[in-house]
Every structure is written in structure tokens, then in C-alpha cells.
């Protein structure tokens, strides 16, 4: 495989705060999307999502250098990536605290392409596509809270609040924040419910929730992206155009593509974004 094009952009233009990451090696390629913190927690001076991103990228680099297709599969690789985060907790003396309080965790979604096995491995809500098929895994809990935020915005607008004022100060995000924090209780939860979801956070054990997708031999290109691209298209230009249309027409992200957050004043987009296009 080789890289045709790749792109990484933080939502606020500050590369150091970007919680998305791209990895390309000889055997593996991946998009990693660190989860946005619901508070102001920092670990080693990094937001939890940035820390998770960095730990997973480092582990991917080590895995790629020693990859053995006869000994590796999706379960083993994902366990190794998850253990990289757990090891940081142990070294920092917070393993038990984070186990009891998911809000403290450094969490990430990812999609990995394994070239020797020609497989996609997905945990969380990153995206992938070939010329023929599109693969995603949106969380039901995100759909619920995106709908709730849209409802709150519509209610605020009906009371006389303007869209411009919400772009200046997103009261809708503040109003649903208690519910967003509650969702951590469903993260990597052993008791399965319709709202449960899986991420790499040091406590990922439900391997049955991963997606392992064979890539058709007829596919010659593979596109990977984070959920900062609501629509993952076949090229970077097409993906950027689709995103920009949404941002221009609906910067609050409550109509065209309902989200739990819109574009904050001064930001470039509603979320960090990463795109990778490979020839395979």
C-alpha cells in the first residue's frame, strides 16, 4: 500500500490540541480519534483525547515494526493498543480511579487497515470506504444526544434566541452537558444496552463489539476518516467540499448533520478531522 493523500486539521487551527491522528506504516495504516473531554481534565499537560491519541499512535508504530501476520489478528492488535492506555494509568497511579470513574479516562476510536491480512478493524465511530462500499459505526447514544441538542436549539430559537448568538455562546451544548457526562456510564459497559458503546480506553474487553471487515480484492483504493467528516467521500477534495457545504449552511450543526456540538466562534469546524487515502 502507499499513501495517495492525507490531511489532518484541528477544529481550532492549533495542531498541538488536535485529538485526531494518522498512522501509516509498512503493514498498518490507521486513523485515531481521541474523544473530546466533557470537562477540563488534563494528563501530562494534555487533554485526555490527545493523550489517548498519542499513546495509540506510539503503540501502532511499535506494532508495525514487528508485525507478523501469522501471529497477529484484530483481537490481539486491539488488546495491545488498549493495554498501552492501561499501562499509562498504572504508571500514573490512577488505574483504579479511572476504572471506577470513566470520565477520567483517555479514550479513542480508531479504524485500522491491515495490509497483510487485507482487513479493516474498527472500534468506535471512525469511517472507511472503498470505491464500492462505505463502512461506519455511529453510536446510538450520539444520535440520541444530537437529536436532543437539535430540540434544545429549536426551543431556544422559538423563544427569540438567534442562531448568531448561539454561535457566539452555545447554550445548547451547556444544557445537554449533564447528559453527555452521563454517557460515560455506558462506555465499555459489561452490561449491554442499546446505548452501550466501545472505545479504546484501557478497559476495552468486549471484543465482540469490534468490527472486522475483509476488504474486497477488487478494491484498489481505501479511504479512512474520523467523524470530523460527516460524509467520507472518495477524495480529500470531495470530503472537504461536503464538509464545507454543511458548515456554510448549518454551522450550528443541528439541521443538515445533527451533532452534539457546532462550530465554536473562531474555530474552523465543529470537530478535528483526519483523512487518509491509500492505494492498496
Nearest to 125, CA basis, from 44, 72, 197, 17: 197
Q: What number does CATH give the domain 2-137+195-253+266-279?
A: 3.60.40.10
- Give, rounded to a whole angstrom, the gap between the first and last alpha carbons of the chain: 5
Where are the chain's structural domains? 2-137+195-253+266-279
Q: What is the pLDDT of residue 40?
A: 62
Non-local CB neighbours of 71 within 8 Å, separated by 6+ positions: none
CA quadruple 59, 276, 197, 178: dihedral sign: positive
Q: What is the pLDDT of residue 39?
A: 63
Residue spans of the chain under pLDDT 70? 39-40
Per the CB < 8 A criterion, the answer to whether 231 and 119 are in contact is no
Question: What span, in angstroms and rounded, lies between the C-alpha atoms of 47 and 35?
Answer: 9
Q: What is the pLDDT of residues 118-148, one digit of tens each?
A: 999 999 999 999 998 999 877 899 999 999 9
Q: What is the pLDDT of residues 39-62, one digit of tens each?
A: 667 777 899 999 999 999 999 999
Q: What is the pLDDT of residue 230?
A: 93
Neighbours of 276 (CB within 10 A): 25
Non-local CB neighbours of 48 within 8 Å, separated by 6+ positions: 34, 35, 37, 41, 42, 104, 105, 106, 107
Q: What is the pLDDT of residue 185?
A: 86
DSSP string spanning 139-164? -HHHHHHHHHHHHHHHHHHHTT--HH
Amino acid at each position: 500500500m502507499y499513501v495517495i493523500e492525507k490531511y489532518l486539521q484541528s477544529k481550532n487551527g492549533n495542531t498541538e490540541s488536535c485529538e485526531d491522528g494518522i498512522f501509516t506504516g509498512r503493514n498498518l495504516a490507521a486513523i485515531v480519534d481521541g474523544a473530546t473531554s466533557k470537562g477540563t481534565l488534563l494528563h501530562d499537560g494534555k487533554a485526555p483525547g490527545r493523550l489517548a491519541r498519542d499513546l495509540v499512535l506510539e503503540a501502532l508504530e511499535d506494532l508495525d515494526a514487528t508485525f507478523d501476520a501469522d501471529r497477529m489478528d484484530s483481537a490481539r492488535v486491539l488488546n495491545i493498543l488498549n493495554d498501552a492506555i492501561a499501562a499509562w494509568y498504572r504508571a500514573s497511579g490512577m488505574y483504579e480511579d479511572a476504572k471506577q470513574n470513566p470520565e477520567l479516562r483517555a479514550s479513542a476510536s480508531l479504524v485500522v487497515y491491515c495490509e497483510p491480512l487485507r482487513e479493516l478493524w474498527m472500534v468506535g465511530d471512525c469511517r472507511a470506504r472503498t470505491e464500492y462500499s462505505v463502512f461506519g459505526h455511529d453510536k446510538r447514544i450520539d444520535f440520541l444526544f444530537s437529536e436532543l441538542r437539535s430540540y434544545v436549539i429549536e426551543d431556544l430559537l422559538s423563544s427569540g434566541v438567534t442562531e448568531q448568538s448561539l454561535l457566539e455562546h452555545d447554550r445548547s451544548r451547556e444544557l445537554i452537558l449533564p447528559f453527555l457526562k452521563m454517557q460515560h456510564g455506558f462506555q465499555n459497559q459489561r452490561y449491554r444496552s442499546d446505548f452501550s458503546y466501545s472505545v479504546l480506553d484501557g478497559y476495552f474487553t468486549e471484543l465482540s463489539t469490534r468490527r472486522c471487515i475483509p476488504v474486497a480484492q477488487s478494491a484498489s483504493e481505501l479511504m479512512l476518516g474520523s467523524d470530523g467528516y460527516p460524509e467520507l467521500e472518495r477524495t480529500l477534495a470531495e470530503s472537504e467540499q461536503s464538509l464545507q457545504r454543511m458548515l456554510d449552511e448549518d454551522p450550528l450543526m443541528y439541521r443538515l448533520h445533527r451533532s452534539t456540538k457546532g462550530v465554536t466562534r473562531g474555530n474552523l469546524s465543529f470537530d478535528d478531522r483526519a483523512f487518509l487515502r491509500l492505494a492498496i
